[in-house]
């Protein structure tokens, strides 16, 4: 196979240094919060005021809930139930919505999934002015495909028609790569390229498949903005290449900038993490580097940081083989 040699490397801007400094400081906040229980999380005024995701996607509160409470909460779930639970949770991507459905129907499995009953509960929540979707990303409504006026009705129908009737589990189990899993999900109605990749990562947390997070990446809109700010010229690289490039050089960059980056108990930043960090750097640089524009030309950070009072008990996919190290670290710090 011919190997493409890229002669013209990307030209970085000052924001790339900010990218690595942000990753380091955000990871320090993570350790200060959940490991050391420090009252002062950071002295960075932007990070104190605004909400940002963790350096590692799997450390985010919603991802942690998905891994612990949705995927690995019960060893007796069969494979189709795990897929059903994962997609049901991720479609809304909101812990409160999941817990609302659980409070009404108990353990959420295929056998107790009822379109009419689920629809009624979600509609009642909306009638009470409750938001049932996370604001993290926007799913297409699906009205042109399934015909319902309410978005959640179309998404429930998506689960019923594609997951159950068409045996999506069989297609997923036959995948031989993360990219193939992404393509299977991309064929689903209302699922665009960004969501298909995010859902592929979520499914890959489970035991249904077992692919490396270093195998494949899809840059989202926010990441593309961040990449544009971090590099003045991409050279022979495209946006996917850029994400792979920074993932490869991460240790060298931390050394160059004299940053003491604390990785995830031996797990270095993966492609999905570096993709997300470009998105977060785009937001951060709106305040830190207002003179540098991205693609969208956004100027403000909308979300304000509001501390959560509920404690996070860290738990990562068992196949990563770090949970025993995490537990030991928490006991030692405690």
Which residue intervals of 264-322 are DSSP H helices?
A: 271-288
Q: How confident is the model at residue 329 (pLDDT cuts 50, 70, 90)?
A: confident
Q: How confident is the model at residue 6 (pLDDT cuts 50, 70, 90)?
A: low
Q: Is the pLDDT of residue 166 over 90?
A: no
Cα dihedral sign for 195, 111, 115, 122? Answer: negative
Q: Give Cα 133 distance to the centre of its chain.
A: 15
Distances in whole angstroms, Cα of residue 273 to Cα of each of 54, 57, 216, 264: 9, 6, 12, 11
Q: How confident is the model at residue 333 (pLDDT cuts 50, 70, 90)?
A: low
- On average, the pLDDT of the chain sits at 92
CB atoms near residue 140 (< 10 Å): 15
Q: For 246-270, give the DSSP string.
A: HHHTHHHHHHHTT-----BTTB---
Q: Tokens at residue 71, please?
A: 């995927």
Comparison of pLDDT for 16 and 138, the residue scoring more: 16
CB atoms near residue 334 (< 10 Å): 8
- Mean pLDDT computed over 226-235: 96
Which residue intervals of 93-175 are DSSP H helices?
A: 95-105, 115-127, 143-146, 151-158, 168-173
Overall residue count recorded for the chain in this entry: 334
Q: Percent of the chain having pLDDT more than 70?
A: 97
- For residue 137, the model assigns a pLDDT of 75
CB contact at 8 A, 241 and 269: no
Q: Is the pLDDT of residue 128 over 90?
A: yes
- Mean pLDDT computed over 241-252: 97
The predicted-structure confidence for 140-157, as pLDDT tens digits, reads as follows: 888 888 888 899 999 999
CB contact at 8 A, 112 and 85: no
Q: Hey, which of 242-246, 289-293, 310-314 has the most confident mean pLDDT?
A: 242-246
State pTM to two decimals. 0.94
Residue 137 makes CB contacts below 8 A (sequence gap 6+) with: 93, 194, 195, 198
- Mean pLDDT computed over 30-35: 89
- For residue 217, the model assigns a pLDDT of 98
The predicted-structure confidence for 175-230, as pLDDT tens digits, reads as follows: 999 999 999 999 999 999 999 999 999 999 999 999 999 999 999 999 999 999 99
Q: Is the pLDDT of residue 298 over 80?
A: yes
- Mean pLDDT computed over 114-136: 93
Sorted by where each begins, the domain ranges of the chain are: 11-59+216-333, 74-204
Mapped onto helix, strand or coil, the DSSP state of residue 177 is: coil
């Amino acid at each position: 196979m011919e190997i493409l040699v890229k002669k013209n490397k990307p030209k970085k801007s000052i924001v790339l240094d900010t990218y690595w400094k942000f990753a380091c400081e955000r990871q320090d906040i993570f350790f200060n919060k959940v490991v050391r229980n420090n009252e002062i999380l950071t002295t960075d005024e932007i990070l104190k005021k605004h909400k940002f995701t963790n350096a590692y996607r799997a450390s985010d509160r919603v991802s942690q809930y998905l891994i612990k409470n949705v995927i690995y909460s019960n060893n007796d779930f069969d494979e189709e139930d795990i897929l059903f639970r994962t997609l049901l949770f991720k479609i809304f991507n909101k812990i409160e919505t999941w817990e609302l459905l659980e409070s009404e129907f108990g353990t959420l499995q295929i056998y107790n999934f009822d379109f009419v009953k689920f629809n009624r509960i979600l509609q009642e929540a909306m009638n009470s002015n409750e938001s049932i979707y996370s604001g993290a990303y926007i799913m297409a409504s699906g009205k042109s495909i399934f015909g319902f006026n309410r978005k959640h009705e179309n998404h429930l129908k998506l689960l019923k028609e594609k997951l159950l009737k068409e045996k999506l589990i069989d297609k997923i189990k036959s995948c031989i790569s993360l990219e193939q899993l992404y393509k299977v999900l991309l064929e689903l109605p209302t699922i665009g390229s960004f969501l298909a990749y995010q859902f592929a990562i979520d499914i890959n947390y489970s035991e249904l498949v077992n692919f490396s997070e270093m195998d494949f990446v899809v840059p989202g809109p926010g990441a593309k903005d961040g990449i544009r700010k971090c590099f003045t010229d991409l050279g022979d690289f495209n946006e996917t290449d850029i994400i792979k490039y920074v993932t490869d050089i991460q240790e060298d960059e931390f050394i160059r900038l004299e940053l003491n980056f604390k990785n995830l108990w031996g797990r270095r930043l993966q492609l999905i993490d570096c993709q997300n960090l470009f998105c977060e750097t785009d937001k951060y640089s709106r305040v830190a580097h207002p003179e540098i524009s991205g693609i969208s030309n956004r100027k403000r950070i909308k979300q304000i940081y509001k501390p959560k009072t509920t404690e996070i008990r860290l738990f990562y996919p068992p196949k990563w083989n770090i949970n025993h190290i995490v537990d030991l670290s928490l006991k030692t710090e405690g």
